[in-house]
Amino acid sequence: MAGELTPTPFLSDALVILGAAGIVIPVFARFRITPIIGFILIGVAVGPFGLGSLVARVPWIEHITITNPEVLTPFADFGIVLLLFAIGLELSFNRLWQLRRLVFGLGALELIIIGSSLAVFLGFVSDMSTSGALALGFALAFSSTAIVLPLSGTRTPVGRAALSMLLFEDIMIVPIIFILGALAPNAQGEGWAGLITTLWQGGLVIAVLLVVGRFALPRLFAQAARTKSPELFLSASLLVVIGASLATALVGLSPIVGALIAGLLIAETEYHTEVELIMEPFKGLALGVFLITIGMSINLVEITEQIGALALAVVGVLTFKALVTGVLLRLMGARRSTAAETGVMMASPSETSLIVLAAATAALVIDTDTAQFWQTVTAIGLTITPLLAKLGRMIARRVDHAPQLPGGDDDAEARTIIVGGGRVGRLVADMMHTHARPYVMIDSNPDLIAVARQDGYRATFGDAARRGTLARLGVENAPAVVLTMDEPVLAQRLVTKLRQAYPDLLIVARARDMDHAATLYRAGASHAVPETLESSLQLSEAVLVDIGVAMGPVIASIHAKRDEFREQLEREGGLTEKPKLRTTNSAAG
C-alpha cells in the first residue's frame, strides 16, 4: 500500500533502545538500583549473543533485538562526549587548576605504575611480545569515566580523586594509540611523526577554542536566552559541544577533549546552570546507549566455557588496581576511607580499554584471540562497577568510622538563593554581603545577570520555574529562598512548589499588596512583604522623625505596626500554624 510505513532495521533498533530506557529507568529507580546495571543487562538480552542468537529459529524476535550492534557505536561515542561535556560544566578552570597536582601527579603515577606492572607480569606469564604486553597492560590500567563519575560525582573527596585520575587517562588516550602505531611491526616512524603533528596541531586548536570561546560563548548564549526559547538554547548547546569535539577530532585528538573544553568554557559563564539542566536528558539517553553496547559485547556462552580463566583474570586485575590506587592515595594524604572507596571503584577496566585493545589488534601487537579474551574481561568489569562502588562504600565505613564530608568547593556551600536580579534582588544581595552571608542570585533575564556579574554580584542565568533549576543551586541545603521578582503569579507558583518539596525551607517573598501577601501566605510563604505596606511605614517614619518625635519610639512603633499587619495577613491567609523552619537560617535575621 502506498504510504505504508515499513520498519527499517535502524528504526527497529531505535525503538528497542527507547523501549529499554522506558523500562530500565523507572523500574531500577523504584528499587533504588543504579540504571547502569539495567542498561548493561538489556544489552546482554537484546544483543547478538542473547535473544539475537535465536532469530534464525524464531524470526519475530528480530523486532525486539538489535540487528546491527555496530550501528549504535557512533551514538555510544556521542554519549561519552556528552558526559565529558557535563563534567566540564561542573568544573571550571579554577577548579581544574586546583586539581592540577592530583591530575598530573596522582593520575600520572596511577596510570604508569599500574600499566607498567601489568605489562611486566603479563610478559612474564605468557609468550607475548614486549610491545603486546605494554599495550595490554596500559589498556587494563584505564578506568571507566562513563560509569565511575556518575556513581561518585565530582564534589566529594572520592569524586575529586577519581576525576583527577580519569582526566589524566583521557588526556593520555591519543599518545598511547599513536605509540601503538609506532610499535607496529610494519611501522617505519610514521607513528612518531604523526604523534608530533597531532600534538602541535591539537595545541593550536585548543588555544583557538579557549580564545574564541571566552568571547563568543557569552554572546551566543545571551542571544539564545533573550528569545526565551528552550529549543534555541538546546540548539546552541549542541552546536558548541559538537563543534568543539569535531575541531579536536579533525586534528587527531579525541573528541572528548573538545567536549571537556567546551564544558569548561561554558562553566565560566552565567549560563552554565541552564545548559547543564537542559542537556541532562540527552546525556542520560546517550549514556544508556553506550551501556547497551557494552552489554551486547558480552557472550554468555564464551564466559561459561572459560569461566575459570575469566574469573581469575577479573579478580586479579581488580585486586591489583584497587591496591595500587588506594596506596597511592594514602601516600598523597587522602583519608583511609577515601583511599579505600576510590581504589575499589576505579578497579575495573574501561570503555577506553576496548579502544586500546582494538588499536593494538589492528597494529598486530596483540593477536585476535588474546584481544577477545581481555575484551570479555573488560565487559565483565564494566558490568560489576556499580557493585564495586557499593563494596567500596562498605569498606570505607569499616576502615574509617568518621563520616565523609564533601567540603572544599565554593559551589557546594549552603547559600541563600535570591530569585530575581532587579532592584529588590540587588538590595537583598547587598545586605547578604554586608553581613557576610553566602548567596547566589538567579534571573531569566540575561541582561540583568550580565550587568549584575559586572558589578560584582554572584549571579547566574536560569529559569527558577523550570524543574531542577533551584535544586542544582543547592536549595536542599539553602538557609532561605528570597523571591524578589515583580511577577505575582510566578511567585505564588514557586512558593507552592517549594513548600511542597521542602517543608522546612524558609521562604521570604515580595508581594505587590496586602491581598497578594495573603495569597502567598496561603501558598506556604514563611514571610510575605507587601511593597505598599513597607512604603507606608517608611513614609510614616520619615515624617514622625522630621516633626520632632524621638527616633527610638518611632522605630519601636514601626516594628509594632509591622508585626500587627503581619499577624493580620497571616489570619487572612488562613495560616493557623506557621511552617516549621530550619534552625540554621541565621541569614534570615
Contact between 431 and 494 under an 8 Å Cβ cutoff? The reply is no
Residues 461, 271: contact at Cβ < 8 Å? yes
Per-residue pLDDT at 402? 47
Fold of 413-588: Rossmann fold (3.40.50)
3-state DSSP call for residue 72?
A: helix
Residue-level pLDDT at 411: 45
Residue 51 · residue 65 · CB < 8 Å: yes
- Which range has the worst mean pLDDT, 33-42, 331-340, 402-411, 485-494? 402-411
Residue 114 makes CB contacts below 8 A (sequence gap 6+) with 137, 140, 141, 320, 321, 324, 325
Assign residue 333 a region (left: φ > 0; alpha: ψ between -120 and 50; beta: otherwise): left
φ/ψ bin of 509: left (φ > 0), alpha (ψ from -120 to 50), beta (otherwise): beta
Of 183 and 97, more confident: 97
Contact assessment for residue 508 and residue 534, using Cβ atoms and an 8 Å cutoff: no
Average pLDDT in the 403-413 region?
A: 45
**CB pairs under 8 A, 24+ apart, for 171-174?**
171/257, 172/111, 173/254, 173/352, 173/355, 173/356, 174/198, 174/202, 174/252, 174/253, 174/254, 174/257
User: How many CB atoms within 10 Å of residue 589?
Assistant: 6
Name, of 273-282, 456-465, 540-549, the range with top average pLDDT: 456-465
CA 150 – CA 147 distance, rounded (Å): 6
Q: Which cell goes with 544?
A: 514622625
Which amino acid type is present at position 103?
A: V
What pLDDT shows up at residue 408? 41
DSSP 128-140: --HHHHHHHHHHH
Mean pLDDT lowest for which of 93-97, 107-111, 114-118, 515-519?
93-97
d(CA 548, CA 504): 44
pLDDT tens, residue by residue, 202-241: 788 888 988 988 888 888 888 888 887 878 888 888 899 8
Q: Report domain 69-399's class.
A: mainly alpha
| SS3 state at 528 | strand
Full-model pTM: 0.67
Considering only CA atoms, which of 475, 485, 321, 310 is closest in space to residue 388? 321
- Cell reading at 568: 493580620
Give the Cα separation of 465 and 480 in Å (integer). Answer: 17
Q: What is the pLDDT of residues 313-327, one digit of tens each?
A: 999 999 999 999 999
In this model, does residue 363 exceed pLDDT 50? yes
Contacts of 182 (CB under 8 A, 6+ apart): 189, 190, 191, 192, 195
The alpha-helical segments, DSSP class H, found in 400-513 are 423-434, 446-454, 469-472, 488-501
89 touches 266 (CB < 8 A): yes
Q: Looking at the chain, which residues constitute the CATH 3.40.50.720 domain(s)?
A: 413-588
Q: How confident is the model at residue 50 (pLDDT cuts 50, 70, 90)?
A: confident
* Parts of the chain belonging to CATH 1.20.1530.20: 69-399
Q: How many CB atoms lie within 10 A of CB 583?
A: 7
Indicate if the pLDDT at residue 403 is higher than 60.
Answer: no
Considering 4-8, 49-53, 449-453, the range whose residues carry the highest mean pLDDT is: 449-453
Our CA angle for 462, 467, 473, nearest 5°, is 50
Look at the alpha carbons of 72, 73, 74, 77 in this order and tell me if their dihedral is positive or negative.
positive
- Sheet strand arrangement including 527-530: 459-461, 439-443, 416-419, 480-483, 506-511, 527-530
